[in-house]
A and B are shown apart, each in its own frame.
Chain A
Amino acid sequence: MNGGEILPVMVGFARTLRAAGVAADHERTRGFLTALENLDAGNRKDVYWAGRLTLCARPDDIPRYDRCFAAYFDGRPLPASSAPTVTVTRYTASPDGAERSAGEPATAATASTLEILRGRDVASLTPQERAEINRLLALMRTGRQQRASRRLVPSKQGRLDPHRIVREAMKRGGEPARLRFRDRRRKPRRVVLLVDVSGSMAAYADTLLRLAHAVVRSAPRATEVFSAGTRLTRLTAELRLRDAAVAMDQVSRAIPDWSGGTRLGEELRAFLRFPDARGAIVVIASDGWERGDPSLLGAQMGRLSRMAHRVIWVNPHKGDPAYRPLTGGMRAALPYIDDLVAGHSLAAYEELAGLLAGRRAGHA
Chain B
Amino acid sequence: MEIDSPETLRGLLEQRDYLAGTGLATAAFLALRMGRPLFLEGEAGVGKTELAKTLAGVVGAPLIRLQCYEGLDAAQALYDWDFARQLLHLKAAEAAGITDVKALEGEIYDRRFLIARPLLQALESQPAVLLVDEIDRADDEFEAFLLEVLSDFTISIPELGTIRAASPPLVILTSNRTREVHDALKRRCLYHWLDHPGFDREVAILLRRLPLCTSLLAEQVARAAARLRAADLLKPPGIAETLDWAEALLTLGADRLDPELAAVTLGAALKYREDQQTAMQNGLLDA
User: Cβ of A274: which chain B residues have Cβ within 8 Å of it?
Assistant: 177-178
Judge if A295 is at the interface, Cβ distance under 8 Å: no
The verdict on A174 contacting B26 (CB below 8 Å), with A28-B187, A163-B75 known, is no
In-complex Cβ contact of B87 among A25, A38, A59, A174 (8 A) = A174
Evaluate contact between A25 and B30: CB separation under 8 angstroms.
no
Asked whether, in the complex, the Cβ of B108 is within 8 Å of the Cβ of A174, the reply is no
A162 surroundings in chain B (CB, below 8 A)? 83
- Check A151–B71 contact: CB distance below 8 A: yes
Please tell me if A56 contacts chain B, counting CB pairs below 8 Å. Answer: yes
Interchain nearest-CB distance for B277 vs A (Å):
12
Please provide the chain B residues from 1 to 56 with a CB less than 8 Å away from any CB of chain A in the complex.
6, 22-23, 26-27, 29-30, 33-34, 36, 41
Whether B180 pairs with A53 at a CB distance below 8 angstroms is no
Number of A-B residue pairs with CB-CB distance less than 8 Å in the complex they form:
99
Known A38-B30, A53-B26, A174-B91; judge A151-B192 contact (CB<8 A).
Answer: no
Question: Which residues of chain B come closer than 8 Å to A169, judged between CB atoms?
Answer: 87
Chain A min CB distance to B16 (Å): 22
Nearest chain B residue, comparing its CB with the CB of A165: B83
List residues of A (142-198) whose CB comes within 8 Å of B's CBs: 149-152, 162-163, 166-167, 169-170, 173-174, 187
Task: Tell me whether A34 and B34 are in contact (CB under 8 A).
Answer: yes
Pairwise interchain contact B232-A221, C-beta atoms closer than 8 A: no
B-side contacts of A38, CB under 8 Å: 29-30, 33-34
Query: Do B70 and A151 have beta carbons less than 8 Å apart?
Result: yes
A276 with B139, Cβ < 8 A, contacts A53-B27, A152-B71, A174-B87 known: no
A170-B69 contact given A56-B191, A163-B83, A278-B178, CB 8 Å threshold: no
- Cβ of B36 to closest chain A Cβ, rounded Å: 7
B contact residues, range:
35 or more
Interface residue count on the A side (C-beta < 8 Å)? 41
Distance in angstroms from A359 CB to nearest chain B CB is 26
Asked if A57 and B191 make an inter-chain contact with CB atoms under 8 angstroms apart, the answer reads yes
Question: Any chain A CB within 8 A of the CB of B110?
Answer: no
Known contacts A35-B30, A59-B41; A52/B23 CB under 8 A: yes
Kindly list chain A residues whose C-beta atoms are within 8 Å of the C-beta of B190.
Answer: 31, 35, 53-54
Given contacts A163-B83, A167-B83, A173-B94, is CB(A31)–CB(B34) below 8 Å? yes
Smallest CB separation, B160 vs chain A (Å): 15
Binds B, one of A9-17, A43-51, A90-98, A317-325: A43-51
Assess the A49–B26 pair: CB atoms within 8 A: yes
- The verdict on B154 contacting chain A, using a C-beta distance below 8 Å, is no
- CB contacts (< 8 Å) of A150 on chain B: these are 69-71, 139
Are A23 and B90 touching (Cβ within 8 A)? Answer: no
Asked whether A170 and B23 contact (CB < 8 A) given A31-B190, A50-B30, A58-B180, the answer is no
Known contacts A46-B26, A52-B23, A149-B70; A303/B187 CB under 8 A: no
Q: Which residue of A lies closest to B188 (CB)?
A: A27
Q: Is the CB of A149 within 8 A of B139?
A: yes
Which residue from chain A places its CB closest to the CB of B35 in the assembled complex?
A34
Query: Is B199 interfacial (CB-CB < 8 Å)?
Result: no
B87 adjacent to A170 (CB under 8 Å): yes
Against A, the Cβ 8 Å flags (1 = close, 0 = not) of B56-73 are: 000000000000011101
A58 / chain B contacts, CB cutoff of 8 Å: 41, 180, 191
Taking CB as reference atom, which chain A residue is nearest B235?
A: A273
Contact B186 A49 (CB under 8 A): no
B residues less than 8 Å from A62 (CB atoms): 193
Chain A, 16-35, CB within 8 A of any chain B CB? 23, 25, 27-28, 31, 34-35
Q: How far is the CA of A169 from the CA of B91 in the complex (A)?
A: 12
Roughly how many angstroms separate A152 CA and B71 CA in the complex, as a whole number? 7
- When C-beta atoms are compared, the residue in chain B nearest to A302 turns out to be B274
Residues of A within 8 A of B41 (CB): 58-59
Q: Does B140 contact A (CB under 8 A)?
A: yes
Return the CB mask of A44-77 against B: 1 if under 8 Å, else 0.
0110011011101111001000000000000000
A150 to B26, CA, bound (A): 38
Cβ of B70 and Cβ of A39 under 8 Å apart?
Answer: no
- Whole-angstrom distance between the alpha carbons of A264 and B284 in the complex? 26
A151 cross-chain contacts in B, Cβ below 8 A: 70-71, 73, 139, 141
Could you say which of A49, A149, A174, A221 contacts B71, with CB atoms under 8 Å apart?
A: A149
Counting from the closest, the 7 A-B pairs by CB-CB distance are A150-B71, A166-B83, A49-B26, A150-B70, A38-B33, A151-B71, A53-B190
Given contact pairs A49-B23, A53-B190, A276-B179, a sample of 5 additional A-B residue pairs in the complex whose CB atoms are under 8 Å apart:
A167-B81, A167-B83, A173-B90, A174-B90, A275-B178
- Would you give 15 A-B contacts (Cβ < 8 Å), ordered by A? A45-B22, A46-B26, A49-B27, A50-B26, A53-B30, A58-B191, A149-B139, A150-B69, A151-B70, A166-B84, A166-B86, A166-B87, A170-B83, A221-B140, A276-B178
